[in-house]
Structure 1
Amino acid sequence: MNKRKIILNLCTSLDFFIEGENGEIDWCLTDQDYGMTDFLARIDTILLGRKSYIQLVREAPTAFSDKKKIVFSTTLKEIPDGVKIIRANIEEEVNTLLNTPGKDIWLFGGKVLTSALLELNLIDEFIIAIHPLILGQGKPLLIPNNQRKKLILTDTKTFSTGLVQLYYKVDK
């Protein structure tokens, strides 16, 4: 059995913000599929930080209803049935998930969860969709830390809209 992979798949502006200053994501291009159908067929679980989960529920409450959702939060009080919450022991919980049979796992975000999983060396792949605009300010892709990670470019895709997708695997 192959071990499942955690894949960070997200959009960013050219200046590497994943949201605008007020949390807006209306700048993300949605006029094409951009490979999402194939990606969604590859995964069965979505990992979300508290803020990303709240935003997903607010913006698209029925999105990804066929996927298991796991939210990482110490403060979130109410979650609907079918959504798992992890409050502690992130590394242990994620390693258990990785060794449970299933498809790959989408790390949806946000930056706190992404940075924590990156520090724990638990992210296997990155799919970064760089949108052709500069936001100027907003929420950055990662929280700065002193850890260096080598990535290996495995693919690139360009689209007529100017969007560029970069595919990396983490050199572990």
Structure 2
Amino acid sequence: MAREIVLFIAVSLDGFIAKEDGDLNWLFETEGEGDNGYSDMYQAIDTMIMGKKTYDYVRSVTETFPHSDRKCYVFSSSTQGSDEHAEFVNDDVLAFVTKLKEQEGSKIWMVGGSDLLDSFMKEKLIDEFIITITPHILGSGIPLFKENNPQFNLILQGIRQFGQFAEVRYKVKE
């Protein structure tokens, strides 16, 4: 059985994952509860995939890389090789992920950002969507989903409230 790709991400009520300049501070202004479901998801994964902008953002806002205990792949068109935290990937998304899903292991967290997520959406590589809706209407910003995606038929797995956050969890219908 192939490993599953999980999208775990927060989004404003009007569908944005960041402000136009990439700012995420609005996320931290919200009253949540505990870790807002993060540890439940994190315990289910052993591998992460993210884009280079997301990786650079995480590195810039944390003193120590918070995911050193997981295998981390970073898609980048400019950086090659690896560093102490991640392996940089320049391969075709579909070919790389197809091979990765066949390897032994737990679920794989598709962290972001929007360009890489769009590639995953176009190739129908997401198996589970865990989307936390924040109590914000940003008006504009970086959208969670870009246009012209294929249709996904989903099955609702659960809804949870964490303070002012609402988490919805869907599996892709086979």
Q: How far does the alpha carbon of each residue in 1:74-125 deviate from its partner, in whole angstroms, 9 at most, with x for none?
A: 1236852341111122211111110111110000011111111121121100
Secondary structure, in 3 states, of the residue corresponding to 2:105?
coil
- Aligned equivalents of 1:146 and 1:127: distance in 2? 18
Matches within 5 A, 1:1-20: 2-20=1-19
Matches within 5 A, 1:5-154: 5-28=4-27, 29=30, 32-60=34-62, 61-76=64-79, 79-154=82-157
Contact map agreement 1:131 1:163 (CA 8 A) in 2: yes
Residue range with higher mean Cα deviation, 25-34 or 109-118: 25-34
Secondary structure, in 3 states, of the residue corresponding to 2:26?
coil
Question: Gaps spanning 5+ residues in structure 1: where?
Answer: none
Residue range with higher mean Cα deviation, 119-128 or 84-93: 84-93
Relative to structure 1, the CA distance from residue 39 to residue 152 in structure 2 (aligned partners, 3 Å threshold; closer, same or farther) is same
Question: What is the deviation of 1:3?
Answer: 2.1
Q: How far does the alpha carbon of each residue in 1:1-46 deviate from its partner, in whole angstroms, 9 at most, with x for none?
A: x421100000011111100122111121466211111211110111
Percent identical pairs in the alignment equals 34
Partner residue in 2 for 1:167:
169
Alignment size in residue pairs: 170
Code of the residue aligned with 2:155 in structure 1: it is I
Query: What root-mean-square deviation, in Å, do the aligned CA atoms of Structure 1 and Structure 2 show?
Result: 1.7
> What is the TM-score with the length of structure 1 in the denominator?
0.91
- Aligned equivalents of 1:77 and 1:99: distance in 2? 23
Moved over 4 A (4+): none
Q: How far does the alpha carbon of each residue in 1:110-149 deviate from its partner, in whole angstroms, 9 at most, with x for none?
A: 1111111121121100000001111111111022115222
Contact map agreement 1:48 1:108 (CA 8 A) in 2: yes
Relative to structure 1, the CA distance from residue 22 to residue 78 in structure 2 (aligned partners, 3 Å threshold; closer, same or farther) is farther
